[in-house]
Every structure is written in structure tokens, then in C-alpha cells.
């Protein structure tokens, strides 16, 4: 057996340490083939538990971001200070 084949057997699967709240339709433990097959059959899968985090779209207006001023937009567009 070559050295490269042995090294591939030693490498462990990468498990990300960061979990993002938004994005990705991926559900852990289900591969994409099962997901696409169940969607084509009309079977809907839902998450069994919802976390205690609040989505930023559900926050009251007083906690939302302030609108950007024209000066801030120009500063960002030019890439920082001159």
C-alpha cells in the first residue's frame, strides 16, 4: 500500500467549530441525496428543536441598525481613508 493511501485513511473528517445561525439548508446527519429525494416526494422535514436565539429580523425597531449616512457609504465605497 502506498504512503499516500495510508495517509488518507489516517485523516479524520473535518468538523467545523463555528456554527452559523443563517444560511445553508443543510441539516446535520442527512446527506443531500436524501434531502432532494424527500423534497421531490413532497415530504417536508422540519427541525425538532428551535434554539433560544432570536433572529435579527424579529427584533424591535429600537434594537435594529441605524440607517447609513451618505458619508458612511462614500467612505466604504472608496475603501477607507484617503
pLDDT of residue 73: 94
Render pLDDT for 2-18 as a digit per residue (tens, 0 to 9): 777 666 667 777 888 88
Torsion of CA 25, 30, 31, 32, to 10 degrees: -40
Confirm if 27 and 45 have CB atoms less than 8 A apart: yes
Render pLDDT for 51-78 as a digit per residue (tens, 0 to 9): 678 888 888 888 888 899 999 999 999 9
Residue 37 has pLDDT above 60, yes or no: no
pLDDT of residue 45: 47
Amino acid at each position: 500500500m502506498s504512503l499516500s493511501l495510508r495517509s488518507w485513511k489516517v485523516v479524520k473528517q473535518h468538523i467545523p467549530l463555528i456554527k452559523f445561525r443563517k444560511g445553508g439548508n443543510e441539516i446535520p446527519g442527512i446527506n443531500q441525496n436524501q434531502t432532494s429525494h424527500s423534497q421531490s416526494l413532497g415530504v417536508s422535514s422540519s427541525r425538532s428543536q428551535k434554539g433560544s436565539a432570536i433572529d435579527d429580523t424579529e427584533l424591535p425597531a429600537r434594537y435594529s441598525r441605524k440607517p447609513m449616512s451618505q458619508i458612511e457609504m462614500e467612505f466604504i465605497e472608496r475603501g477607507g481613508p484617503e
